[in-house]
Amino acid sequence: MSNIREIAERAGVSIATVSRYLNGSGYVSEKTKIKIQKEIEKAGYTPNALARAIFTKNSRTIALMIPNITNPFFNQMVTAIEDYANKIGYSLFLYNTGDSREKEKECLEVIKSYRVSGIIASRSQCKEEYSEINIPVVSFENHISSSIATVSSDNYNGGKMAFDHLYDRGCRNMLHIKGPRNFEATELRCKGFVDAANKKGIKVDIVEFETDFQVQILEEYLKRIENIKKYDGIFVFNDIAAAVVMKHLKGIGISIPHQVQLIGFDDSFIGELLYPSLTTIRQPIKEIGTLLIELLIKQINREKVEIKDYLLETKLIKRESTL
Ligand code: XLF
């Protein structure tokens, strides 16, 4: 098996030129590209997929960035995207950004050197960093720029539905546990909930969590909520956080749904496994994943894609945690 040095010698170019060619960074003349490629093929140099990718300009790989690998919602979203990708002969590189701008920036640096065909970003914390990316990008939830399409559920309406349901079930003293400020989706859920409450002339309390899901941190926040017992209805910004709230409430002897009714958001698989099972607002996870990858593949294939907000319907799923 030849190495990069031998390829360079046989092609009569420097190692740096071969490496520029393989990484797709910097200038290499067309004539030199062909020479290098011929030597790569003759020598059976290992990164064949990569070499092929350079020639076809499509590595058939997608970088999928998710913010929180421990959240079941994102497990399900990744599965939907991967199933679709595999069916059409694409593979995924998965990155877990932890909702950290720094980590996302590092992921983007790595992605740039991998010659992936496109990127699916989710709940991105970066903006201008994407202006240097010259491959198609689609975004889940957070907006990145006016040249990148964004897919999300109808979070505003979902928030309204959560209020209306608790109200219909008799709750008049409600708390909303809202997500971090840098999550566009949960800001909208909160707005929908509050607007629906105002319409009915009801004042709701709001506390903000600074994380999506880290049990210890969430439990700490919960301990700080003064007199949680006084509420008869609680809307939590997502299912995984709602599971922690449920555990806390049960731990301090509050019965759900008889003393407090609880509603989450997502309809991820944990909702059904909880006891009592969790009423929630459904995000169409499979459709979200499918739409994200469909939009991306169209752009990779240079088909026309409208750059806009793609909004998918949310739906109330009634279970045991509300009456
Ligand atoms: O970003 C929001 C908050 O958490 C996302 O849709 C989720 O609901 C997933 O659990």
Average confidence score pLDDT of the chain: 92
Residue 179 Cβ inside 6 Å of ligand 1? The answer reads yes
Domain spans of the chain, in order of start:
4-49, 61-153+285-312, 155-284
Which of 11-20, 183-192, 262-271, 276-285 is predicted least confidently? 11-20
Higher-confidence position of 171 and 19: 171
Task: Tell me the per-residue pLDDT of 195-239, one tens digit each, with 9 for 90 and over.
Answer: 999 999 999 999 998 877 677 788 888 888 878 989 999 999 999
pLDDT at 49: 61
What is the architecture, at CATH level 2, of domain 4-49? Orthogonal Bundle (1.10)
- Do domains 61-153+285-312 and 155-284 share one topology? The answer is yes
Residue 97 Cβ inside 6 Å of ligand 1? The answer reads no
174-178 and 279-282 as β-strands: parallel, antiparallel, unpaired?
Answer: unpaired
- Residues 84/293, Cβ–Cβ less than 8 Å: yes
Average pLDDT on 142-160 reads: 98
Q: Which of 181, 265, 317 to mutate to test the pocket of ligand 1 (most atoms within 8 A of CB)?
A: 265
Task: Tell me the per-residue pLDDT of 229-254, one tens digit each, with 9 for 90 and over.
Answer: 899 999 999 999 999 999 999 999 99
Cα 129 to ligand 1 centre (Å):
23
Cα 48 to ligand 1 centre (Å):
39
Task: Tell me the per-residue pLDDT of 116-145, one tens digit each, with 9 for 90 and over.
Answer: 999 999 999 999 999 989 999 999 999 999
Q: Which of 137, 129, 122, 200 is nearest to 163 (CA)?
A: 200
Residue 141 Cβ inside 6 Å of ligand 1? The answer reads yes
Q: How far apart are CA 205 and CA 174, in angstroms?
A: 6
Fold of the domain built from segment(s) 155-284: Rossmann fold (3.40.50)
What is the architecture, at CATH level 2, of domain 61-153+285-312? 3-Layer(aba) Sandwich (3.40)
